[in-house]
Amino acid sequence: MKKKGILNAQLCAHIAALGHKDTFLIGDAGMPIPKGVPIVDLVLCGGVPTFIQTMDAILEETEVEHYTLAQEIHEKNPVLLEYIQSKLPDTEHEFIPHDDLKKMSANVKFAIRTGEFTPYPNIILRAGVAFPA
- Residue numbers annotated as active site: 20
Q: How far, rounded to the nearest angstrom, does the alpha carbon of residue 112 sit from its chain's CA centroid?
A: 7
Sheet arrangement for strand 64-70: 39-41, 111-113, 23-27, 123-127, 64-70, 92-96
Which run of H or E residues covers position 54?
Answer: helix 51-61
